[in-house]
């Protein structure tokens, strides 16, 4: 390796300084450092890369990172301590406020002596104030009236032996009453369920429809219109009421003849007395008091043997019907018919 030996500097070639012994020592150290800097390792790496100033740089970087970490840690610690302090103040204020509120709402209690009770019985003395509670453990009887200026709260049952007079009562829940008497109107906005019997002393007016699951028993039912969806079963007589219809005689009744009638638009009787010169045609016309919606059916029954010889027939309209004969009847004869009208 001749080239490497040529590059190696010689220590004797440099001039030596002769100032002071300390300078000589420094010079030797500097020469040694220079000599060491000039040595080339056979592996191709210099000694500076192994023991140079790199350890000092790493130590400086390490110190700077720890310092910055400590600074950041101190800031977060201060913030955390500040938050804890604020939370502690808030908790303390809330605690003292709740304690103050509970203290002000606490009612004081006081025992009543016999002398105090005697004073209450013999005078109108005021006991305590609104912030105190009067507790009576024994049963209490008030011989006179009791006036409660504020509200009355009953934790248990309330039994009233006499009459209870209330100007207004509002019940939000369920109520069970043994007997209720309403002297004035009773208005129920919702549905009403009555499990027992219902007795109405006066009239009952229903503006809407009514549905009955069981039978209806009434001595008399008056209605303007009755519609039956099933059969009509009558165990007693049918009595037709209403006004008596008017009548008018026809030319077939003859000279001096007359007619009379009784009953109603539904059922009745007609009596005919022929005069002289009776002829075929209509004897009498019965005019209904109320006309039917359509032409009704007339059931005519002859009454007596004299009516059996008459060849009668009926003309009918919505307002009247006529009793007629197809052949002339005998003059001076009397006969009659019963009629029944159904629409």
Burial class (CB in 10 A: 0-12, 13-18, 19+), 325: buried
How far apart CA 237 and CA 260 sit, in angstroms, is 25
CA atoms within 13 A on the CB side of 31: 15
Are the CB atoms for 260 and 281 separated by under 8 Å? Answer: no
Closest Cα to residue 248, out of 315, 311, 295, 307? 315
Bridge pairing between strands 281-287 and 320-325: antiparallel
Tokens describing residue 225 = 């219109």
The full DSSP string for 36-57 is: HHH-B-TTS-BTHHHHSSHHHH
Tell me the Cα Rg of the chain. Answer: 65
CA atoms within 13 A on the CB side of 147: 2
Output the tens digit of pLDDT for each of the chain's 343 residues. Answer: 444 444 444 433 344 444 444 444 444 444 444 444 444 443 444 444 444 444 444 444 555 566 665 555 567 777 888 899 999 999 998 888 887 765 555 556 667 777 777 777 676 666 667 777 778 777 888 887 888 877 788 888 888 877 777 777 777 777 777 777 778 788 888 888 888 888 888 888 888 888 888 888 888 888 888 888 889 888 888 888 899 999 999 999 999 999 999 999 999 999 999 999 999 999 999 999 999 999 999 999 999 988 989 999 999 999 999 999 999 999 999 999 999 999 8
How far apart CA 325 and CA 282 sit, in angstroms, is 6
């Amino acid at each position: 390796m001749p080239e490497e030996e040529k590059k190696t500097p010689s220590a004797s070639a440099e001039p030596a300084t002769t100032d002071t012994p300390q300078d000589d020592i420094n010079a030797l150290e500097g020469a040694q450092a220079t000599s060491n800097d000039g040595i080339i390792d056979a592996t191709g790496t210099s000694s500076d890369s192994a023991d140079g100033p790199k350890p000092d740089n790493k130590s400086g970087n390490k110190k700077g990172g720890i310092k910055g970490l400590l600074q950041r840690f101190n800031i977060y610690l201060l913030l955390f301590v500040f938050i804890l302090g604020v939370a502690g103040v808030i908790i303390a204020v809330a605690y003292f406020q709740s304690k103050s509120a509970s203290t002000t709402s606490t009612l004081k209690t006081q025992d009543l002596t016999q002398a105090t009770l005697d004073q209450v019985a013999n005078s109108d003395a005021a006991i305590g104030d609104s912030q105190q509670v009067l507790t009576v453990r024994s049963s209490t009887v008030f011989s006179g009236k009791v006036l409660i200026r504020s509200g009355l709260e009953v934790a248990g049952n309330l039994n009233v032996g006499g009459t209870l007079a209330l100007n207004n009562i509002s019940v939000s829940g369920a109520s069970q009453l043994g007997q209720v008497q309403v002297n004035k109107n009773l208005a129920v906005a919702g549905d009403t369920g009555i499990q027992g019997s219902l007795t109405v002393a006066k009239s009952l007016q229903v503006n809407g429809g009514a549905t009955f699951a069981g039978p209806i028993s009434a001595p008399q039912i008056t209605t303007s219109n009755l519609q039956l969806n099933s059969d009509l079963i009558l165990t007693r007589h049918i009595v037709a009421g209403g006004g008596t219809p008017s009548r008018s005689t026809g030319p077939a009744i003859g000279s001096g003849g007359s007619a009379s009638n009784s009953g109603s638009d539904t059922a009745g009787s007609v009596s005919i007395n022929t005069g002289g010169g009776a002829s075929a045609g209509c004897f009498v016309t019965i005019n209904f008091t109320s006309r039917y919606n359509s032409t009704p059916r007339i059931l005519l029954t002859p009454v007596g043997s004299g009516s059996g010889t008459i060849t009668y027939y009926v003309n009918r309209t919505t307002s009247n019907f006529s009793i007629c004969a197809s052949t002339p009847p005998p003059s001076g004869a009397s006969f009659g018919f019963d009629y029944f009208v159904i629409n």
